[in-house]
Structure 1
């Protein structure tokens, strides 16, 4: 079930991106290609494909970018930058993902060795771009290579500060060195490099995109509004661009605007799926953010949640691609647990998950612990499942996501919260409150994550609710204030703060 009707506020946001809002069947070319100015020496047809791929790369539309770069290679088989671009699609620094082997395979098609590849460059500038990516996928650990790559990109940028793409990719490379989560000094360094590019190329998709990432936390989000106002206009046919502006709205607690942005993002993706002969999707990243925005407004998200469950069941019937089980099942677990927290409408178990789909099973086990609050036996059973799954997760994660250093931290936080819930359900109020407080402080100590909270219910919110039930209003109000620092604009925390007399 799709949400197609925009509220008045959503319509206002849509006017900030007229091409996405008004064009029912776009040609699919609105990705910012017209703002690409990188000078390359290539066949004209190859250059056209390359510039489109470059725009898609800046938009994190990686598969579509790879296709464009492959078309450039066919038009000009020795065009170095076409291979550079395709290899770049396998590096996702902000998602803690990199497929080094796949990238090296792309470069190997250009030449068997770095020396052979370097012999094909057509300009000194092109040689610098190639040297940078050879370093990115060279020897050493990913963290070492990220820093070496950044050094090469700094040199590339300093050699010609007027090169807007060098500025953009250097800013992204800076962000890519913030290993283990957001480090504010690194993010502000990136913003400082990107901001002059905004002054000269205010519609460049890379500059806008990476500025939004630099600023998408509650403290700095107001600085990202200018980029958000422009980015959706620049790339109306890039779903990620439509979604990205909601990073700023989310950090500001502007749920109507976040809803509108993700409705548009989902519509773009569904049009692309339809063109490829595929059904629309009610799961996935954009739908997750949409559901969260709806819940924060007290709106009904059950249609999306129910439709996503059907897709999750279909995925489970087909079997998992890997034991973590990315996809519809994990997406459903996330949004159904949020719905349970916000409305008390908890999901029924997903049948047939077996030994796979650990992502979904961990989320649902944590949800069961929260749903069973007060029932010692049920909470204990859910906690036991959660701990077992957490152990499996910790074992498998390095194998399938070797660069992911943050997800396990949040799973540990879910376990700690469930342990506090069990203690409270046992009737040991003082110990349970102390455990909840410790869990909440540990959550606050982790690097600030963009987007919806990485835990289904912030522990400070849960602590505030328990204190409020005990009549300890001043303490409850302070807990709700801390929860709102952790998750700005969160509806249940705002309601709790009001009930505690804190507003």
Structure 2
């Protein structure tokens, strides 16, 4: 049961211009206002508008409703190959991980094969179908990244051959994002996508995919300000799509615009709950907790966590659900330096190592920060074991992130033993490794950036000058973070 004050805030977040009418316009929970799409196909004229609507849903990552919409098109026109292209595309999640979920791969493959079998006469449509068939080709030896790279190349060819096809340009841009490396701090593919999408955004300001993918392409410290116009616009383009209401907060978070982020995620949480989108609801709640913590609104953050805990049994096989449910309590405990609370945290039952590592890290920090260095070392060892398992499974990104968490715990345990130099060296190592990686869209950022922790460590060692430099570096990457601001203020007052 949602607390009355929280319920009021959720309702207020959803009372922007037109929202109430759009909620009345829903057809059994499927949103009606989704932006403007014109994607001409050679199927029966009667399915053209329903197909456009299905593509609009797809662009806002409303995968469940999009599947229903494309299936309706296929039923109305059994010869419509592009309906099966659309169905296959709902099983490809280009900026999420994994992009091709193993549990639904066979479903996407079946739809791609049906699209190939139907073979439309239009060469342009065959290009789309060829590209999605590469994603789902029947070759078990192919790695997911080989599939997405082949798809990107096919979409590049289609976009080049059909420069007047708006959707080809947009789908090529998001194909680039599907292959953007988290270790590429030059953001080369993101900048390629921005170069495609920028002029399109000016020419087609009500297209949901253009605004959406501009936000994803700009979701970095370097590019965030470039995505602000799209962030301000996207929610008004597709206000009935929960993800469209949430996505602006990726940019707001990057820029430290906490009140904007709170409004965005309150609206998204309410819309996702109304549509039964549990993953979208929890994702918005996690970003909401993060923003509440940065503004000192711990009471509100704790109420969000209480609402999460009151939800029916959550599916820990869904990474986004598992991540949000594990991260929210950790954010409040660690950022508030509630060390006894942090020590008591445990991983959600059934969560993967990449998620379970977060509360284990919090426990290790709590033990180290209360002087229990040996017990903290035991948690660091647990994290190293998780890191090893993740590497063995081939999940190198989360293995690297888990290794960073282990090093942070080790640094604080070393500090608890009075070894200032050793602690500083470990935390600098963690900060450098974290700086070399981008965050995944699943999270607003590290619970506490390693660079910020380095500042805290140096303050504890009575080294205000180096501490101030560390906090300033942290703020350059994550403007407006409360811990870095307070730390920088404390360091500046004690030169």
Interval containing the TM-score (normalised by the shorter chain)? 0.7 to 0.9
With over 3 angstroms needed to count, the CA separation of the structure-2 counterparts of 1:481 and 1:5, relative to structure 1, is: farther
Counterpart of 1:218? 221
Q: Secondary structure at the match of 1:18?
A: coil
Picking from 263, 272, 277, the partner of 1:269 is 272
Picking from 454, 462, 466, the partner of 1:471 is 462
Counterpart of 1:401? none
With over 3 angstroms needed to count, the CA separation of the structure-2 counterparts of 1:263 and 1:73, relative to structure 1, is: same
TM-score where L is the length of structure 2: 0.87
Counterpart of 1:362? 357
* Residues in 2 aligned to 1:484 and 1:502: alpha-carbon distance in whole angstroms: 18
Greater mean deviation of Cα atoms: 342-351 or 36-45: 342-351
With over 3 angstroms needed to count, the CA separation of the structure-2 counterparts of 1:437 and 1:256, relative to structure 1, is: same
Supply the RMSD in Å over aligned alpha carbons: 3.0
The 8 Å contact of residues 292 and 452 in structure 1, kept in 2 or not, is answered as: no
* Residues in 1 aligned to 2:84 and 2:279: alpha-carbon distance in whole angstroms: 32
Picking from 376, 381, 402, the partner of 2:378 is 381
Q: Secondary structure at the match of 1:92?
A: coil
Counterpart of 1:238? 241
Counterpart of 1:333? 326
Greater mean deviation of Cα atoms: 35-44 or 163-172: 35-44
Counterpart of 2:81? 80
User: Cα distance, 1:181 vs. partner?
Assistant: 4.9
1:84-128: CA deviation from partner (whole Å, max 9, x where unpaired): 001011111211321443211123344xxx4x332xx03222122
1:219-262: CA deviation from partner (whole Å, max 9, x where unpaired): 32222122112210111111111111111111111011011101
The 8 Å contact of residues 345 and 360 in structure 2, kept in 1 or not, is answered as: no
The 8 Å contact of residues 347 and 356 in structure 2, kept in 1 or not, is answered as: no
Counterpart of 1:196? 199
* Residues in 2 aligned to 1:486 and 1:303: alpha-carbon distance in whole angstroms: 29
Counterpart of 1:309? 309
The 8 Å contact of residues 59 and 209 in structure 2, kept in 1 or not, is answered as: yes
The 8 Å contact of residues 266 and 288 in structure 2, kept in 1 or not, is answered as: yes
* Residues in 1 aligned to 2:202 and 2:275: alpha-carbon distance in whole angstroms: 33
The 8 Å contact of residues 183 and 438 in structure 2, kept in 1 or not, is answered as: yes
Gaps of 5+ in 2: none
- Structure 1 segment 316-327 matched on structure 2, within 5 A: 322=317, 326=319
1:109-164: CA deviation from partner (whole Å, max 9, x where unpaired): 44xxx4x332xx03222122212222232354333332332232222222332222
User: Cα distance, 1:358 vs. partner?
Assistant: 3.7
1:367-420: CA deviation from partner (whole Å, max 9, x where unpaired): 001111221233123223323333344445x4xxxxx54222111110111111
With over 3 angstroms needed to count, the CA separation of the structure-2 counterparts of 1:347 and 1:330, relative to structure 1, is: farther
With over 3 angstroms needed to count, the CA separation of the structure-2 counterparts of 1:146 and 1:281, relative to structure 1, is: closer
Q: Secondary structure at the match of 1:259?
A: helix
Greater mean deviation of Cα atoms: 208-217 or 259-268: 208-217
Counterpart of 2:168? 166
User: Cα distance, 1:264 vs. partner?
Assistant: 0.5
TM-score where L is the length of structure 1: 0.86
With over 3 angstroms needed to count, the CA separation of the structure-2 counterparts of 1:437 and 1:348, relative to structure 1, is: closer
Greater mean deviation of Cα atoms: 31-40 or 208-217: 31-40
With over 3 angstroms needed to count, the CA separation of the structure-2 counterparts of 1:348 and 1:22, relative to structure 1, is: farther
1:89 aligns to 2:90 (yes or no): yes
The 8 Å contact of residues 33 and 51 in structure 1, kept in 2 or not, is answered as: no
With over 3 angstroms needed to count, the CA separation of the structure-2 counterparts of 1:356 and 1:392, relative to structure 1, is: farther
Picking from 432, 437, 445, the partner of 1:441 is 432
User: Cα distance, 1:327 vs. partner?
Assistant: 6.1
With over 3 angstroms needed to count, the CA separation of the structure-2 counterparts of 1:142 and 1:390, relative to structure 1, is: closer
- Structure 1 segment 35-46 matched on structure 2, within 5 A: 35-46=36-47
User: Cα distance, 1:437 vs. partner?
Assistant: 1.5
* Residues in 1 aligned to 2:204 and 2:476: alpha-carbon distance in whole angstroms: 34
User: Cα distance, 1:65 vs. partner?
Assistant: 0.8
* Residues in 2 aligned to 1:420 and 1:352: alpha-carbon distance in whole angstroms: 22
Picking from 420, 424, 427, the partner of 2:418 is 427
Q: Secondary structure at the match of 1:430?
A: helix
* Residues in 2 aligned to 1:417 and 1:73: alpha-carbon distance in whole angstroms: 53
Counterpart of 1:256? 259
The 8 Å contact of residues 30 and 234 in structure 1, kept in 2 or not, is answered as: no
* Residues in 2 aligned to 1:361 and 1:30: alpha-carbon distance in whole angstroms: 35
- Structure 1 segment 8-27 matched on structure 2, within 5 A: 18-20=17-19, 25=24, 27=26
The 8 Å contact of residues 451 and 470 in structure 2, kept in 1 or not, is answered as: yes
User: Cα distance, 1:77 vs. partner?
Assistant: 1.0
Picking from 227, 232, 250, the partner of 1:229 is 232
Greater mean deviation of Cα atoms: 350-359 or 89-98: 350-359
* Residues in 2 aligned to 1:14 and 1:363: alpha-carbon distance in whole angstroms: 32
User: Cα distance, 1:166 vs. partner?
Assistant: 1.1
Aligned residue-pair number: 475
Gaps of 5+ in 1: 399-403
Greater mean deviation of Cα atoms: 353-362 or 99-108: 353-362
With over 3 angstroms needed to count, the CA separation of the structure-2 counterparts of 1:194 and 1:327, relative to structure 1, is: closer
